[in-house]
Amino acid sequence: MPRGNVVDDLVSEPSPLLRVSALSKRYGRVAALDAVDLDVSRASIHALMGENGAGKSTLIKCLTGAVSRDSGRFQLDGRDLDPTSPRDAEGAGISTVFQEINLIPHMSIAENITLGRESFRAGLIDRKAARRRAEGAIARLGLSIDVSREVSSCSIAIQQLVAIARALDVQARLLILDEPTSSLDRTETARLFETLRRLRDAGLAVLFVTHFLDQVYAVADQITVLRDAKHVATRATSAFPRLELVSAMLGRAILPSSTSVNAGPEQQSPSLATKPSTNPSQAVSSPSGSPPFTDGSSAAPPPESRPEPSPRPTRDLLSLRAVSLAGSIEHADLSIAPGEAVGLAGLLGSGRTELAKVIFGLDRADSGSMSLDGQPYSPRSPRDAIARGVALTPENRKADGIVPSLSVRENILLALQARLGVWRSLSTRRRRDIAADLIAKLGVKAASADAPIASLSGGNQQKALLARWLATDPKLLILDEPTRGIDVGAKQAIERLIASLISGGLGVLFISSELPEIVRTCTRACVLRDRRTVAEVAGPSLTEERVMEAIATHD
Amino acid sequence: MTSFLRPRPALTSLAWPLAALALLVLFNLLFTPGFFNIELRDARLFGTPIDILNHASKVAIVAVGMTLVIATGGVDLSVGAVVAIAGAIAAMLATRTQAPFPLVVLAALAAGGVAGLCNGVLVTRLRLQPIVATLVLMVAGRGVAQLITDGLIITFEHRELSSLANTSFALLPIPAWIAIALALATGLLTRRTAAGMFLEAVGDNDRACRYAGVNDRAIKLAAYAFCGGCAGLAGLVECSYIKAADANNAGLFLELDVILAVVIGGTSLSGGRFSISGSLAGAVLIQTLTKTMYMHDVSADVAPLPKAIAVLAVCVLQSPVVKDRVSAAFSRGRP
């Protein structure tokens, strides 16, 4: 892609501190970054946003030299930069604090700050000098902590600040923070932001990766959005209304409508690189139940696949009331009826997966109540949940789903056999029949049922995992991002399968970042924002627009 | 007998140790005079191959249990110490009490099982790394055995206990039959029930197993307890063989031979697919290697070196890097 292609709002600015031009990086056949441009100005806080797979972390890894880029150019203060390792990048003035705090727990704050950069006196580490330096670095953040304290005795927030102090100890000019607030509570976050503002006012540039909308609006001066490995938009925070930001992240079009959508300056819209197939005129005329937007990446299925909004059955299959779990869910209300597919929408980090984990017994709620089939329900483990007829296909297929070197057949039979127990083993013939039946029914493409599941494509692995649960005949199926990273054909097959499952009376909780999928598959959608269920959209009003509005609303 | 012997993984894992064994036997045939001299005395066979089988049985018995532990992605370093404990208990019961022989056997097995259970609890409940968790008992176990024997070497003249390892049945020494029976029973137990699949699944990806409702902790716990029981059985055989319980030397360094046998047999140390028949072949291979070295006057001090080289070779062959390179080289060779 030629460089002139991207018209940046910051072109008028004299010269940025950091200029990234046409950065590309591929992993195998997958583009992680595709000709991405980014400018970060001096004395500013720049938020880098995007959903999973947008390319945020790859961008940071390239910048810090942790991975080598395929092509593109970095300029720091007008000079070319080619970091070969994080240490190298540090030397050039780019310091990074990663999500997992990389401190040594049983060493003091001072030792952690100066580790690897110790001053020596007569060949020995000069502890006094180290202490002075650490105190200076801590004071720069406006903190007063005893630097001889052991790091492990400090709160996570303080540890985060110590990590920042360490990053700044090398005369950093650009500080990169990779999701620094994901383990912090509100007051800790506020404290961190105060520090960031002070650092910015002192001239430091901060590149801040996050997916929390409120935080971006609280602290960032500029916002850059990546999506699907491409640069989508860069704008001043004040000129980037929430709804447009959400739309840019999710890759959906913004339409003028009766709601408060128009807050954003209209002339800015072109910089929102939306899918080319989006056709406003077509989309406006969508009072019917058909999907209002077409997604360029997946061919729209026939309209009849959208389930008819039937009258809600009175009996709930699953109901959640005021469920909360410290650090993962603040407040969740949800209900699912038999034969109903309910979508769970929200940005990354909004608590979708966390809620699924509570329902499946992987985590236990601190408060609130759940009921299943009219009976109280508080599973202590997935085994409890499975015994009650709940199933879950996890978001992270590789880590939590497949058992890679076992065969497709064994993977399919695993949950059923676990339910039967060790001693009631299925006969070889039964195993063959059950697996063959499900493989055919779901269209799993495998060389043979004996092939290791790791040899299958992502879509076929996902189908095999669905088969694993269908073998156990569940009542409630939780699908966490079932279509991530799989091809269009498999996506459609899975959507069709869900439709046929709910017509058979199964309840489905469908978690997805792809709004069109939720709109097509579900009769109702529940919206999560900042770990709370904030809205429910049902029936004919279930459109991408409405869901997006609910995600973007600020209260 | 057809369903539990799955030909594909079993064959590939058996191929290497059997090939190596054949090479070693061929070497002995050519260069070790008298290696194959077997004579029949008092309805018992004597000779080097019989010696090898007798000694390999001890390794093989423990290796059966160790195979299951390694399949779950763990390891048990304490088996040598557990052999000493079980031997001590058996010898004390046989000499100091009037306990009937079955009770002696049961006590040794139970001691091993309890020791294994302790390991399992440390691994599954306290989430200690298996190598650390079992190291505790590896070190402490000999102390326990010393306490039981009061620091003495307990010799005995118990008829049944001493005849256990010193009699033959159908030409083979009893320990060899014990090993074969144990391996067959374990094979049936794991492949006829769902235990084998669960063991392999847990070793391959225990998180995914938990998500699928498999009780991964119970599976691991059972594997460690079973392995401990196998070590108890081996302890019985060992003390029967020398008609004494020696807390210091019984089963010393046994864990290394056992782990080596399992790994040579094709069960990966990272867990997952396992092969009991492979472990048996590995045990015989190691004992043959050791015996060959003795017969060629390799001193006991130097003897571990060839074993170490064998371990290295197996590990290198199993490393993913080498596997990838080899398969890449093969596919490049094809038109």
Q: Which of A399, A418, A450 comes nearest B212 by C-beta?
A: A418
Q: Quick check: A528 and A300 in contact, CB under 8 A?
A: no
pLDDT class of A311 with cuts at 50, 70, 90: low
* Lookup: tokens for A175: 């500080």
Q: How many domains does chain B have?
A: 1
Q: Is A312 on the interface with B (CB under 8 A)?
A: no
Q: Which of A401, A406, A419 sits opposite B211 (nearest CB)?
A: A401
Closest CA to B68 of B284, B228, B274: B274
Asked which of A305-319, A398-412, B41-55, B120-134 is least confident by mean pLDDT, the reply is: A305-319
A376 CA to chain B: closest CA distance, Å? 20
> How far apart (Å, rounded) are the C-alpha atoms in residues B214 and B195?
11
Record: fold of A1-93+172-188+195-240:
Rossmann fold (3.40.50)
CB contact under 8 A, A417 and B211: no
pLDDT-derived band at A292 (thresholds 50, 70, 90) equals very low
Nearest chain A residue (CA) to B210: A382
In a domain, B327, yes or no: no
CA distance A483 to chain B (A): 18
Q: Nearest residue of A to residue B207 by CA position? A: A400
DSSP for A27-79 reads: ETTEEEEEEEEEEE-TT-EEEEE--TTSSHHHHHHHHTTSS--SEEEEEETTE
**Cβ–Cβ contact B270 with A under 8 A:** no
What mean pLDDT do residues A402-426 have? 93
Q: Average pLDDT, stretch B154-165?
A: 86
Q: Which of A362, A386, A423 sits opposite B193 (nearest CB)?
A: A423
Confidence of residue A416 (pLDDT cuts 50, 70, 90): very high
For residue B9, pLDDT over 50 is answered with no
Residue B8 near chain A (CB below 8 Å): yes
Give the start-to-end residue ranges of the domains of chain A. 1-93+172-188+195-240, 102-170, 315-552
Q: Give the per-residue pLDDT at A254.
A: 54
Which CATH superfamily, name and number, covers A315-552?
P-loop containing nucleotide triphosphate hydrolases (3.40.50.300)
Complex ipTM value: 0.86
Contact (CB<8Å) B193/A425: yes
pLDDT at B13: 61
- pLDDT at residue A554 in the model: 67
Interchain contact, A406 vs B204, CB within 8 Å: yes
Q: Please, are residues A40 and A18 in contact by the beta-carbon 8 Å criterion?
A: yes
- From residue B290, give the alpha-carbon distance in Å to each of B13, B49, B304, B308, B310: 22, 12, 9, 12, 12
pLDDT mean across residues, chain A: 81
A415 in B contact zone (CB under 8 Å): yes
Chain A contact probe: residue of B13, B193, B205, B226 with most A CBs at under 10 A: B205
Do B212 and A415 count as a contact with CB atoms less than 8 A apart? yes
Q: What is the largest CA-CA distance in chain A?
A: 82
Q: Of A285 and A223, which is predicted with more confidence?
A: A223
Give the pairing type, strands A367-372 and A532-538. unpaired
Task: Count CB pairs under 8 A between chains A and B.
Answer: 78
Best CA proximity match to A375, nearest among A387, A391, A357: A387
Whole-number pLDDT of residue B255: 93
A395, A414, A416, A450: which to substitute to probe chain B, counting the most B Cβ within 10 Å? A414
The band of B334, judged by pLDDT with boundaries at 50, 70 and 90, is very low
Residue of A nearest to B5 (CA): A428
CATH number of residue B159's parent domain:
1.10.3470
Identify all chain A residues contacting B205, using CB atoms and an 8 Å cutoff: 399, 402-404
**Residues 6+ positions from B100 with CB-CB distance below 8 Å:** none
The pLDDT confidence band at residue B182, using thresholds 50, 70 and 90, is very high
Contact A418/B198, CB-based, under 8 Å? yes
Residue B313 counted as domain residue: yes
Task: Tell me how far apart the alpha carbons of residues A471 and A434 are, in angstroms, rounded to a whole number.
Answer: 7
Cβ of A418 within 8 Å of Cβ of B214? The answer is yes
Count of Cβ atoms closer than 10 Å to residue A125 Cβ: 13
Above pLDDT 70, what percent of chain B? 91
Q: Is residue B328 part of a domain?
A: no
Tell me what pLDDT residue B79 has.
96
Best probe of the B interface among A380, A400, A405, by most B CBs < 10 A, is: A405
Lowest-confidence region among A278-287, B169-178, B219-228, B256-265:
A278-287
Question: Could you report the per-residue pLDDT of A1-34, keeping only the tens digit for each?
Answer: 444 444 444 444 567 899 999 999 988 777 889 9
Q: What is the pLDDT of residue B75?
A: 96
Say what the pLDDT of residue A321 is. Answer: 93
For tokens 């009331």, the residue is A321
Residues in A touching B213 (Cβ below 8 Å): 382-383, 386-387, 415, 418-419
Could A405 and B207 be called an inter-chain contact, meaning their C-beta atoms sit closer than 8 Å?
no
Per-residue pLDDT at B57? 95
pLDDT band at B308 (very low <50, low <70, confident <90, very high): confident
Sort out which chain B residues have CB atoms less than 8 A from A422's CB and list them: 193-195, 198
The A residues from 285 to 304 touching B (CB cutoff 8 Å) are: none
Measured between CA atoms, how close is B202 to chain A, in angstroms? 8
**For residue B34, is it within any domain?**
no
Q: Which residue of A has its CA nearest to B268?
A: A405
Q: Convert the pLDDT of each residue in A180-200 to its tens digit.
A: 766 666 777 787 888 889 889
A419 part of contact set with chain B, CB < 8 Å: yes
Touching check for B12 and chain A: CB below 8 Å?
no
**A399/B207 CB distance under 8 A:** yes
Average pLDDT over residues B164-190: 90
* pLDDT tens, position by position, A116-126: 777 676 777 77
Distance of residue A423 Cα from the nearest chain B Cα, in angstroms: 5
CA distance A419 to A407: 19
Nearest to A383 among B192, B204, B213 (CB): B213
User: What confidence score (pLDDT) does residue A314 get?
Assistant: 62
For A432-487, the pLDDT digits (tens) are 999 999 999 998 988 899 999 998 888 899 999 999 999 999 999 999 989 877 77
Q: Which of A357-366, A538-547, B47-56, B314-323 has the lowest mean pLDDT?
A: B314-323
Query: Is the C-alpha dihedral spanning B167, B173, B174, B175 positive or negative?
Result: positive
Say if A453 is an interface residue toward chain B (CB within 8 Å).
no
Question: Which DSSP letter does residue A541 get?
Answer: G
A1-93+172-188+195-240 and A315-552 agree in CATH topology:
yes
Query: Is the pLDDT confidence value at A256 over 70?
Result: no
